[in-house]
């Protein structure tokens, strides 16, 4: 049992570290290091510009999308090398968040289902950050129930005509392309009538409307399609096989192992270490200590769970559904941590933004945290994944499974 790299891993780490040391945008390091959930702001630069520049630099030197094949703009690295890169990239890795959907989901789906010429055309600029991609899956009628979507695609000559609406589309407002899941046959059960495409987000008839979130920020969008035309050669997979295609996408969504999971704990511990309460230092208070200790062991438990997964990767094993626990535990924890930090601030905790304690760090965390528990699968979906795929319990009963889509009731009452 040890934490040491193999000789090959150590060599890779040294090379990566040297390159990052010489090339990373160090002027933003402090701001990135201090960012916490709900707040990654660069005061004097647009974070998208900085992210694109860093990604391009990485791509030119062969460090972009490490796990992708070289011919599509990657490096052909092993999963463990990707983890080592993430560890070495440290706070600069936050900049890759801009591309997480494209690199993590759209790219792999294109690799599995697109024509070879499309892969060679579209994937390298996606890897290098020159083009940003989004994933158009969720709809007002289908969040966790992805297959309940209603956006229609109808064949017209060599094109498909798209009408409908998507929602919760991360980054659609600055995306160049997207992968789109549509319904092509409403007369068969819902999983059987779906078809996947990719499209240019600047196509006529695509309208992106940012959604203002509870936090006040706008990371997500509604996307409306009005008679949008997509050529048939941009179809991914067979007509009616969209559900299987989307499963490939969603399997790739499993959060990247090795990237640090944000729990809010280091921020809270640091805060409590210097905070004075009415009766003395917060860190001396029995109740505060108990809360901190309980969160400390969750944070360390996640950290070492991740290290166990990395060890498995290092031996060539594949990550399994057990890795769903990171998001499940961290999601509600960060929400509770933020709530508690504000409780310690007393009445003044209500003040947010620059006027607040620590420039509103915990207030921003509180307002962003609910999203973490929902995005990429709610806590409840995560628990289902653990129960079904790890513990082997029966799947949920789905009463609409064999019913033609156009016969499924759409409202709770009459």
Partner 1 sequence: MNFDFSDDQKQLRDQARKFLAEKCSPKAVRVVLDGKAPYDKELWKGLAEMGFLGVAIPEEFGGAGAGHLELCVIAEEMGRANAPVPFSSTVYLAAEALLIAGSDAQKKKWLPAIASGEAIGTLALFEGKGNPAPKNVKLTAANGVLNGVKKPVPDGAIADFAVVAARTGSSGRDGDISLFLVDLKGAGVEVKSLTNLDPTRGQAEITFSDCKAEPLGAAGEGWSILTQVLDRAAVLCAFEQVGGSDRALEMGRDYALDRIAFGRQIGSFQAVKHMLADMYVSATLARSNSYFGAWALSTNAAELPEAAAAARISATQAFQHCAKNNIQVHGGMGFTWEFDCHMYYRRANAMALGLGSLSYWEDQLIDRMRKKNAA
Q: Nearest distance from residue 398's CB to partner 1, in Å?
A: 11
User: In the set 314, 319, 375, 400, which binds partner 1 (CB under 8 A)?
Assistant: 314
Q: Which of 2, 117, 202, 204 binds partner 1 (CB under 8 A)?
A: 2
Give 5's DSSP letter.
P
Among 308, 398, 401, 407, binds partner 1 (CB under 8 A): 308
Interface with partner 1, residue 297, by CB under 8 A: yes
228 near 234, Cβ under 8 Å? Answer: no
CA dihedral 33, 38, 44, 50 (to 10 degrees): 70
Q: Is 118 in the site for partner 1 (CB under 8 A)?
A: no
Instruction: Tell me: does residue 289 bind partner 1 (CB under 8 A).
Output: yes
Question: Does 4 participate in binding partner 1 (rule CB under 8 A)?
Answer: yes
The answer to whether 400 contacts partner 1 (rule: CB under 8 A) is: no
**329 near partner 1, rule: CB under 8 A:** yes
Cβ atoms of residues 199 and 234 within 8 Å? yes
Restricting to residues 229-258, name those near partner 1 by CB under 8 A: none
Please pick, from the candidates 292, 338, 344, 369, the single residue that binds partner 1 as defined by CB under 8 A. 292
Q: For residue 255, what is the DSSP state? A: P
Select from 203, 311, 339, 378 the one that contacts partner 1 (CB under 8 A). Answer: 311
Instruction: Please tell me the total number of residues recorded for the chain in this structure.
Output: 414
Q: Which stretch binds partner 1 (CB under 8 A): 194-202, 213-221, 282-290, 361-369?
A: 282-290
Closest CA to 171 of 135, 142, 199: 135
Nearer to partner 1, 121 or 300 (CB): 300
Residue of the chain from 134, 302, 337, 365 that contacts partner 1 (CB under 8 A): 302
In the bound state with partner 1, the residue whose beta carbon lies nearer, of 391 and 399, is 391
Complete DSSP assignment for 124-160: HHHHTTSS-EEEE--BTTBSS-GGG---EEEEETTEE
Residue 135, token pair as written in the block:
């994933």
The structure tokens listed for 345 are 């601030």
| Span from 27-35, 95-103, 210-218, 284-292 in contact with partner 1 (CB under 8 A) | 284-292
Which residues neighbour 72 within 8 Å (Cβ) at sequence distance 6 or greater?
65, 107, 111, 119, 120, 123, 124, 127
Residue 281: helix, strand or coil by DSSP? strand
Contact 97, 88 (CB under 8 A): no
Identity of the residue, 216 or 395, whose beta carbon is nearer to partner 1 in the bound complex: 395
**Least distance CB 393 / partner 1 (angstroms):** 4
Binding mask of the shown chain, residues 363 to 382, with x at each position contacting partner 1 by CB under 8 A: -----------------x-x
**Residue 328 contacts by C-beta under 8 Å, 6 or more apart in sequence?**
379, 382, 383, 386
Q: Given the complex with partner 1, which of 239 and 296 has the nearer CB atom? A: 296
Contacts of 244 (CB under 8 A, 6+ apart): 237
Shortest reach from residue 76's CB to partner 1, in Å = 21
Residue 403 is a binding residue for partner 1 (CB under 8 A):
no
* 293 in contact with partner 1 (CB under 8 A): yes
The phi-psi region of residue 188 (left if phi > 0; otherwise alpha if psi is between -120 and 50; otherwise beta) is beta
Q: What's the closest the beta carbon of residue 392 comes to partner 1, in angstroms?
A: 7
Strands 194-200 and 152-156: unpaired
Span near partner 1 by CB under 8 A; candidates 95-103, 155-163, 342-350, 385-393: 385-393
Q: Does 8 bind partner 1 (CB under 8 A)?
A: no
Token pair for 402:
């064999």
Q: Please give the Cα distance from 114 to 58 (Å, whole number).
A: 25
Which one of 100, 296, 358, 403 is in contact with partner 1 (CB under 8 A)? 296
Phi/psi of residue 110, each to 5°?
-60, -45
Rg (Cα) of the chain, in Å, rounded? 23
Q: Work out how close the CB of 401 gets to partner 1 at its nearest, in angstroms, rounded to a whole number.
A: 14
Cα separation, 278 vs 223, whole angstroms: 51
Largest CA distance in the chain: 77
Q: How far is the CB of 106 from partner 1 (least distance, A)?
A: 30
| Binding to partner 1 in span 151-170, by CB under 8 A | none
Query: Could you list the residues that contact partner 1 (CB under 8 A)?
Result: 1-5, 9, 269, 273, 283, 286, 289-290, 292-294, 296-298, 300-305, 307-308, 310-312, 314-315, 322, 325, 328-329, 380, 382-384, 386-388, 390-397
């Amino acid at each position: 049992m040890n934490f040491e790299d193999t000789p090959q891993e150590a060599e890779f780490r040294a090379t990566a570290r040297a390159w990052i040391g010489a090339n990373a945008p160090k002027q933003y390091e402090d701001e990135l290091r201090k960012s916490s959930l709900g707040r990654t702001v660069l005061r004097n630069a647009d974070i998208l510009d900085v992210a694109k520049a860093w990604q391009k630099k990485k791509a030119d030197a062969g460090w972009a999308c490490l796990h992708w094949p070289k011919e599509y703009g990657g490096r052909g690295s092993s999963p463990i090398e990707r983890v080592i890169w993430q560890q070495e990239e440290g706070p600069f890795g936050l900049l890759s968040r801009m591309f997480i959907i494209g690199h993590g989901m759209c790219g792999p789906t294109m690799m599995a289902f697109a024509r070879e010429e499309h892969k060679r055309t579209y994937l390298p600029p996606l890897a290098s950050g020159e083009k940003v991609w989004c994933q158009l899956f969720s709809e007002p009628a289908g969040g966790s129930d992805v297959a309940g979507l209603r956006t229609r695609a109808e064949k017209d000559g060599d094109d498909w005509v798209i009408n409908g609406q998507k929602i919760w589309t991360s980054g659609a407002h600055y995306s160049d392309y997207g992968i789109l899941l549509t319904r092509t046959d409403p007369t068969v059960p819902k999983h059987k009538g779906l078809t996947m495409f990719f499209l240019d987000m600047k196509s006529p008839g695509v309208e992106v409307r940012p959604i203002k979130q509870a936090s006040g920020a706008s990371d997500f969008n509604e996307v409306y399609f009005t008679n949008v035309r997509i050529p048939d050669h941009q179809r991914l997979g067979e007509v009616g096989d969209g559900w299987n295609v989307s499963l490939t996408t969603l399997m790739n969504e499993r959060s990247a192992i090795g990237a640090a999971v944000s729990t809010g704990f280091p921020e809270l511990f640091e805060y409590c270490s210097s905070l004075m309460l009415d009766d003395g230092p917060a860190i001396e208070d029995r109740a505060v200590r108990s809360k901190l200790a309980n969160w400390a062991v969750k944070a360390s438990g996640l950290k070492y769970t991740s290290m166990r997964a990395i060890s498995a990767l290092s031996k060539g094993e594949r990550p399994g559904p057990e890795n769903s626990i990171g998001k499940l535990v961290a999601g509600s924890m960060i929400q509770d941590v933020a709530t508690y930090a504000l409780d310690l601030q007393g009445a003044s905790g209500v003040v947010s933004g620059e006027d607040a304690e620590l420039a509103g760090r915990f207030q921003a965390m509180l307002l962003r945290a609910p999203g973490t528990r929902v995005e990429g699968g709610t806590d409840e979906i995560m628990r289902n994944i653990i129960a079904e795929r790890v513990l082997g319990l029966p799947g949920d009963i789905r009463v609409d499974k064999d019913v033609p889509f156009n016969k499924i009731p759409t409202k709770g009452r009459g």
